[in-house]
Chain A
Amino acid sequence: MIQVAAAPAIRVQRLTKSYQELDVLRGVDFEVPRGSIFALLGSNGAGKTTIVRILATLLKADAGGAEVNGFEVATRAAEVRASISLTGQFAAVDEILTGRENLILIARLRHLKDPGLIADGLLKRFALVEAGGRRVATYSGGMRRRLDIAMSLIGDPPVIFLDEPTTGLDPQARLEVWQAVRELAAGGTTVLLTTQYLDEAEQLADRIAILHEGRIIVNGTLAELKALLPPATVEYVEKQPTLEDVFLAIVGADGSAVDGSSRSESKGL
């Protein structure tokens, strides 16, 4: 295949982790090529967050290896942290600060020049210019998520972890987040995404791995995964709009980009 010199952005080998009696990870293996979107799909409690926390140096594995951007997580934590950004399951933003102050805070902590300029650029990119001066406590769930992801982009880390980025979001906010993730990957960032939504993995990921009871049971492209199923049969069905289509058609009329992108997506399918 196309095994070029560049090592994979993420390499996980025989990773195990238990909490007391509970074996959360029982030997997980996978690799994520640079610049791709990799989705870890699994139900609640499958161990997705545990993998992300180990890769983000927040948790130590019991055994096995994990490398991010060529650095072993257990021994080169500082280099790993310089290579990644983590967007956790709950938007980790400071509610008392404004959106702009949140961005400046992260830029300062990454020791970048011109934190104000970086903040303004990201506010524009994530359509938060007007909200930028308001306290985050007044933001909607979607705005928080966008700010959260914007904060993760500061310093252009080569690898980004998104742990269930759309859980608890309404359909519109979900599409906004998807758009942000696509732009990230288009810019060459490697994205490891965890999700419990099948369509999210289908929409975004170059490769999908299904984590079940602490093991990866399937790993491949969407086409490869589909090939595992019984061959498709051709049926003629009248295509009714889904409730999501209806919802977005009615609510998305506020002239936001969401409406346009959702339409092009449904055409693409």
Chain B
Amino acid sequence: MTNHFLGDTAVLTGRSLRHVTRSLDTILTTVVTPIAMMLLFVYVFGGAISTGTDSYVAYLLPGILLITIASGIAYTAYRLFLDLQGGIFERFHSMPIARSAVLWAHVLTSLVANLISLVVVVLVALLMGFRSGAGFLGWLAVTGILILFTVALTWLAVIAGLSAKTVDGASAFSYPLIFLPFISSAFVPTETMPGPVRWFAENQPVTSIVNTIRDLLAGRPVGADSWIALAWCVGILVVAYVLAIVTYRRKIS
């Protein structure tokens, strides 16, 4: 039945994309918090934060993009949980389809929904004066990292969606992820932080990813950070994927 994998995934992705387009509020609530944070940090705190750069919008945008993804993937866990709850997951599983298509459809939907949110946030940043010196390849690399990060976090969301007991539980896992950029180089340079905090900030995934995106958007050559960022993304992706599949197998056996 695996020969139907692509077709079944396409059909099921179409289905969950309709869930997104019919409840556009999910996109809105995803982008509203990052945009509010961006406004707050740029126009309220920004004047008092010294980052050594001329444009604070450009400085904080990478972190805001990661926050956007972290809050966007919560909806994947939510939608997956509702499918399990409502019995439609079992209906699909009792049908002659490629079973893995059921999970992949949610992952692809998450990717599409998050890309839409990211575009909205970037547009708002442009309105706020963000300008990029990056060329086509630079933007391509930024898109690539953001896609990788989205897919990695989405598989984390799949674990949460599969193992949650309540709707709230399904989306609560994303709060720490949303919070993680605050203890990183996303808003302020890590040099100002006290010892242990600074150590944590410099060695957690968000900092290297933020630094890489920041360099790419500024059109600067990327340093060793980019390899660390890539390693983090791929590492999270692999671990989350394996755990998600294990959780899934346990769930359906």
Q: Which residues of A contact B (CB under 8 A)?
A: 53, 56-60, 78, 81-82, 84-86, 88-97, 101, 105-106, 108-111, 135, 151
List the 6 shortest-distance A-B pairs measured between CB atoms, nearest first: A92-B87, A82-B96, A92-B91, A86-B94, A56-B94, A81-B96
Which of these binds chain A: B15-23, B58-66, B234-242? B15-23
A107 → chain B closest CB, angstroms: 10
A190 → chain B closest CB, angstroms: 16
The answer to whether A105 and B90 have CB atoms under 8 Å apart is no
Majority secondary structure, A binding face? loop
Q: Which residues of B contact A (CB under 8 A)?
A: 1, 4, 7-8, 11-12, 15, 18-19, 22-23, 86-88, 90-97, 252-253
A39 CA to B70 CA in the complex, in Å? 49
B171 → chain A closest CB, angstroms: 18
Most buried by A among B4, B91, B97, B253: B91
A92 CA to B86 CA in the complex, in Å? 6
The answer to whether A105 and B87 have CB atoms under 8 Å apart is no
B13 → chain A closest CB, angstroms: 12
Instruction: Name 12 A/B residue pairs within 8 A (Cβ), A-sorted.
Output: A57-B93, A59-B253, A81-B1, A81-B94, A81-B96, A86-B90, A88-B87, A95-B86, A101-B18, A109-B8, A109-B95, A135-B22
Most buried by B among A57, A97, A108: A108
Contact partners of A82 in chain B: CB under 8 A = 96
A108 CA to B22 CA in the complex, in Å? 21
Known contacts A58-B90, A88-B90; A111/B253 CB under 8 A: no
The one of A56, A85, A96 in contact with B22, judged by C-beta atoms closer than 8 angstroms, is A96
The answer to whether B7 and A111 have CB atoms under 8 Å apart is yes
The one of A59, A60, A86, A97 in contact with B91, judged by C-beta atoms closer than 8 angstroms, is A86
Given A58-B252, A88-B91, output 18 extra A-B contacts at Cβ < 8 Å. Answer: A57-B93, A60-B253, A78-B1, A81-B97, A84-B94, A85-B95, A88-B90, A92-B90, A92-B91, A93-B88, A94-B15, A96-B23, A97-B18, A105-B15, A106-B95, A108-B11, A109-B92, A109-B97
Contact partners of B15 in chain A: CB under 8 A = 94, 97, 105
A122 → chain B closest CB, angstroms: 16
A111 CA to B1 CA in the complex, in Å? 11
The answer to whether B94 and A57 have CB atoms under 8 Å apart is yes
Contact partners of A110 in chain B: CB under 8 A = 95-96
Contact partners of A111 in chain B: CB under 8 A = 4, 7
Contact partners of A53 in chain B: CB under 8 A = 90
A110 → chain B closest CB, angstroms: 7
Smallest Cβ-Cβ distance to A86: which chain B residue: B94
Contact partners of A56 in chain B: CB under 8 A = 90, 94
The answer to whether A89 and B87 have CB atoms under 8 Å apart is yes
Smallest Cβ-Cβ distance to B91: which chain A residue: A92
Contact partners of A91 in chain B: CB under 8 A = 87
Known contacts A58-B94, A96-B18; A90/B86 CB under 8 A: yes
A88 CA to B91 CA in the complex, in Å? 8
Contact partners of A101 in chain B: CB under 8 A = 18
A157 → chain B closest CB, angstroms: 9
The one of B11, B19, B87 in contact with A109, judged by C-beta atoms closer than 8 angstroms, is B11
B22 → chain A closest CB, angstroms: 5
Contact partners of A109 in chain B: CB under 8 A = 8, 11-12, 92, 95, 97
